[in-house]
Amino acid sequence: MNDDNSFNSIEKMMEFGMSMAVAQQMMQTMNHAMQNMTTPQFQQVNVPIPAPGVQFYALVNDIPQGPFSEKELSSHILANRVTKETLVWIYGMSGWMQARHVIEVAKLFAMMPPPIK
């Protein structure tokens, strides 16, 4: 009785043995390749960190306050805590100036919606 699904025949035993030998050879090759594989090593790279943007200072109720981001200063303008007459200062200025005369602040007033009448 010849059953092709059993390991009783010598051909099946030979086929199984050769498949195991090929699989073992593949495992050895893969192990060798993995052991000899190198990964790139990176040297320490100094990446410049972007500046956080302009930092604003404002004289609110005669008290210097800040630093404020542009978004924070816009919210103070919207709440009318900072007006065009408020004294402001940003890095690089020689002294405090009215907000209307500082371009970076004056543009924020231009972006505000008009008051509701």
Q: Other C-beta atoms within 10 Å of 86: how many?
A: 19
- What are the tens digits of pLDDT across the range 78-99? 899 999 999 999 999 999 999 9
Chain centroid, CA 54 distance in Å: 20
Q: What angle do CA 46, 43, 49 make, to 5 degrees?
A: 15
Which one-letter DSSP state was computed for residue 87?
E
CB of 114 closer than 8 Å to CB of 83 = no
CB of 56 closer than 8 Å to CB of 64 = no
Q: So what's the pLDDT on residue 101?
A: 95
- What are the tens digits of pLDDT across the range 28-71? 998 888 888 877 776 777 766 666 688 999 998 899 999 999 99
**Dihedrals φ, ψ of 90, to 5°?**
-130, 160
What tokens appear for 37 in the block?
């594989």
**What strands, in cross-sheet order, belong to the sheet with 87-90?**
63-68, 56-60, 87-90, 97-98
Q: Which amino acid is at 3?
A: D
